[in-house]
A and B are shown apart, each in its own frame.
Chain A
Amino acid sequence: MAVGKSIIRKEAWDKVTGRAKYTNDFKEQGMLHAALVTSPYAHARILSVNVDKAIAAPGVRAVVTGEGLPLTGEDMRDRPPIAVDKVRYYGEVVAVVVADTLAQAEQAARLVRVVYEPLPAVGSPREALKEGAPLLHEHLDRYEKNKTTHPEPGTNVAHRTKIRKGNIEQGFAESDVIVETSVSFAPSDHIAMETRCATAEIWPDGTIHISASSQSPFMIKKLLHAYFGEETGKVIVHTPLVGGAYGGKAPVQLELLAYLASKAVDGRKVSVWNSREHDMVTSPVHIGLEATVKIGATRDGIFKAMEILFLFDGGAYSDKAIDVSRAAAVDCTGPYHVENVFCDSLCVYTNRPYATPFRSFGHCEQAFAVERAIDELARTLQLDPWEVRRKNAIRPGHTTPTQVRLNQSNVGDMPACLERLRELMRWDEWQRVELDAYTVRAKGISGGWKTSTIDTDASSGVILTFNSDGSVNVISGVVEIGTGTKTVLAQIVAERLKMDVDRVHVKMDIDTQTTPEHWKTVASRGTFMAGRAALAAADDAIRQLKEIAACVLRASPDDLEVGFGRVFLRDDPAIFLPIKDIAFGYKFPNGNAIGGQVIGRGHYILRHLTPLDPETGAGKPGPEWGVCAEGVEIEFNRRDYTYRIVKAYAVIDAGKVLNPKAALGQVMGAMSMGLSFASREGFLFDKEQRVLNPQLRTYRPIRFGEHPEYIVEFVETPQIDAPYGARGIGEHGLIGMPAALANALSLAVGVPLNELPLVPELIWRKQKGDSYGPV
């Protein structure tokens, strides 16, 4: 009925009329505004912070600095919410100025005088790991951390994940050829069009009201408790529509500043709203990477061993970068069967903006390294790169790098994705062709897979209530960040209740006091977890409706069905009760009533997940592995080194497509983001590790008209325990794009291109044999 149709998203008309409201659209008389004072140095000792002039400036109500604040961090508490003693990245917050108007706050922020003593800055993971490199965190051993975080005190290693599967020496010994490839790219950014924003207000009764542009409203509650001892029941977080997130709004940062700022002004409401520049560098960024991949294979291209070193550029603070580095390790080989795997994945501290999840969560990064290596292996062996991938494609019965046995349900159909990609791309017709003296067309491909390494006890809850006309309200803690998940939940509920999806309403915004928790709106788990919860809630409502109807219709609940707005007898649908007559209890003609409000409740908690063994990595990190095969066709000009992305392809195992147009949109949007990242995005640093392009003027994402033609298809191999079999698809489109683009360009140019972004100057330099480094 509703599942499988391109249902228009519920908030569509709000969004095309300007009525949709985001955090910073809620204006209130008397609300105060904050401006952030940030560090112009990437690494420096703070000798003094003088706020006298700022406090005296017109309209200023408070200036908050960092002394006496607890350290914060989800996996390891290494970050002061406002820097004290030392700044560790360019753009780090050193003071927060609160004033009546934003203009006054901005003006006064310029009057805060901070005296710094610059320290040598660490610019890349490899640099950070060198003997004698400056240490970012001298007291790494003293930080509070969770059990799964393994820092290495005395170094810049925040965490190391080890994967040890099979026997790596034996694997290489059995190999006819060993190919080693190194890749790298600098940190970049999410660039959600809505910059992050948080407001906080503390009421006289002690309740703390936070509004936040966040993927993690429920986490904000928990962290205010963990860091500041606030009672979780007194923290109420409101999240309206979010203007793009892509992982960047999963971490909690501005919310803490808003809370501290409100505290400094007797609980008045304070808004902390990022400028684009602060959103790009002060708030967390997309992780950078330096990696080396060594593949051992037989002459006919069968992988025997993979040895992988990931050096993730976690930036100044570990935040969720630890998790990202672990996620890449968990799936380090890509969607291929490899018996002998040795991987070290390090989250390394550098004096760069700190990293956090970015759509695909370590997987486009992992894929860029491994898929470049696979192409190099194919080239060395003079084999078709598609064929090499097909031969090694992961299948049920194989095990993952963390030794999870795969079956028909928990992994998608990789061979089918590859096969369809080959047809769509007309791979066999040509892979490189010279159109004229200067113009070369080339194709590149990449595999991809992903499981969601999320907390083993992550859960989701859904409540269903009814309206007097029999229509339904769905209340879920999933944040509407643009993915349309709430509309999909409405479809799932409509399908189960066999009713018109137009009569299923969704509560768009989140209020943590009234909305059941959804762990975080991340990791493409919205449809799976909240979908399961929605199904359970629907079943719960159905049970209650049947119970009441059974009484009225004098029939066993087992003989009743719910659908089409009615509860009816299965074998005689003419005997029925409209849902609207029983959803609030049934009133007999004589006035007696039975039953009561029907409130459906449902929840889902992930099961059988385990932390990884610290020595071998063995463990079950996520519920299932979605797979994809992707490709890019480019046209390269050999004379001037420019190129055009002509076509981009993705074949993704969606399990089951619940909303075709929405699914296509998710995949194409992710592909666009991946191509933009790979072809033009990345922070540029000077030698002191200051970011030189923290503006959209100089950091330029892909624009209209620069986009290729997108060709997307789905394979449907159901995940048995997912709603209608649907797998997560919001991230897979991105995973293969950087690698496929690099593979296509490497083939076109005839030189391995292992760095991002792939701008013409990089290609020019690589072909000349130069290195291409920071300015």
Chain B
Amino acid sequence: MEETTKRELVLSINGERRAVVARQAETLLFVLRDGLGLTGAKPGCLNGDCGACTVLVNGTPIKSCMMLAIETVGKEITTIEGLDDAPIQHAFVRHFAFQCGYCTPGFIMNAHALIERHPDADETTIQEWLEANICRCTSYQEIETAVKEALAAKKVETKF
């Protein structure tokens, strides 16, 4: 393997600047997990199909297995480790919206972005966003309940 394609990247993650040396062909997921020890984003398929590795890049949910780390230089990355007591986390706990927990970080990041972007999201929008993640343990009904509760709370909050 040619070492020449490695490069130092300075990434802005969860509000911190982090320097990491990585191959230019390396995906964000592997740099987060192996280079920076942020193992909250999970590899589920490495093919963009399951959503377990979802993180936010400039507030937009992105499958980190499908984006090169080098593309995110100069952007704000938020991983599950960067969520601070978000309402969606509480809602997930309260409504038993996970079991094994492996898809949970990806689901929560996506749902969190949805709530921030579209506090007024209707059924169609909720489905359109959340069908990007696969959960194999729950029936999705629990997740639906949690997300709707967090959305309702956000609506109340944005009214005042």
Contact = CB atoms under 8 A, between A and B. Distances in A.
Interface of A: 6, 8-9, 11-22, 24-25, 27, 58-59, 101, 103-104, 107, 190-195, 241-246, 275-276, 481-484, 661-662, 664-666, 668-669, 671-673, 695-697, 701-707, 709-710
Interface stretch (B69-77, B99-107, B151-159): B99-107
Contacts of A661: 95-96
B99 A483 contact: yes
Interface residues of A, dominant DSSP: loop
A131 to B, nearest CB: 41
B52 interface: yes
Contacts of A104: 1
Interface centre among A13, A107, A666, A707 (most CB of B within 10 A): A707
Nearest to A100: B1
B42 interface: yes
Interface in B48-93: 49-50, 52, 79-81, 83, 89, 92-93
A669 B137 contact: yes
Nearest to A709: B141
A541 B133 CA distance: 45
A569 to B, nearest CB: 40
Contact of B139 (A11, A246, A707): A707
Nearest to A24: B43
A574 B144 CA distance: 50
A27 B37 contact: yes
Given A17-B89, A20-B101, A246 B83 contact: no
Contacts of A245: 100
Contact of A695 (B23, B47, B133): B47
A194 B42 contact: yes
Contacts of B138: 665, 668-669, 672
B98 A244 contact: no
Those 6 A-B pairs whose CB atoms lie nearest each other, nearest first: A18-B40, A482-B100, A243-B102, A15-B101, A705-B127, A18-B80
B96 to A, nearest CB: 5
Nearest to A695: B47
B116 interface: no
B93 A16 contact: yes
Contacts of B126: 705
A18 B79 contact: yes
A275 B98 contact: no
Interface in B27-46: 33-34, 37-46
B11 interface: no
A22 B102 contact: yes
A696 B44 CA distance: 10
7 contacts: A13-B93, A18-B39, A242-B100, A482-B137, A695-B49, A701-B136, A706-B140
B29 to A, nearest CB: 12
Contact of A671 (B43, B79, B139): B139
A194 B134 CA distance: 11
B135 interface: yes
A241 B99 CA distance: 11
A136 B86 CA distance: 55
Contacts of A664: 96
Nearest to A8: B93
A409 B8 CA distance: 66
B142 interface: yes
Contacts of A709: 141
A666 B38 CA distance: 30
A27 B32 CA distance: 12
A704 B144 contact: yes
B13 to A, nearest CB: 13
Given A59-B1, A704-B133, A276 B44 contact: yes
A697 to B, nearest CB: 5
A672 B39 contact: no
Given A16-B93, A17-B80, A194-B102, A705 B140 contact: yes
Contacts of A12: 93
A21 B45 CA distance: 18
A256 B122 CA distance: 49
Contact of A15 (B39, B50, B98, B134): B98
Interface centre among B94, B101, B104 (most CB of A within 10 A): B101
Given A194-B42, A483-B99, A707 B140 contact: yes
A707 B141 contact: yes
Interface in B108-160: 108, 126-127, 130-131, 133-144
A103 B141 contact: no
Given A192-B136, A193-B134, A665-B96, A19 B141 contact: no
Nearest to B99: A482
A310 to B, nearest CB: 26
A710 B138 CA distance: 11
Contact of B105 (A18, A58, A244, A275): A18
Contact of B47 (A191, A241, A696, A704): A696
A672 B136 CA distance: 8
Given A58-B1, A704-B143, A705-B140, A193 B103 contact: yes
B52 A669 contact: no
B56 to A, nearest CB: 13
Contacts of B45: 276, 695-696
Given A59-B1, A276-B45, A668-B141, A193 B102 contact: yes
A662 B93 contact: no
Nearest to A104: B1
A24 B42 CA distance: 9
A198 to B, nearest CB: 15
B62 to A, nearest CB: 16
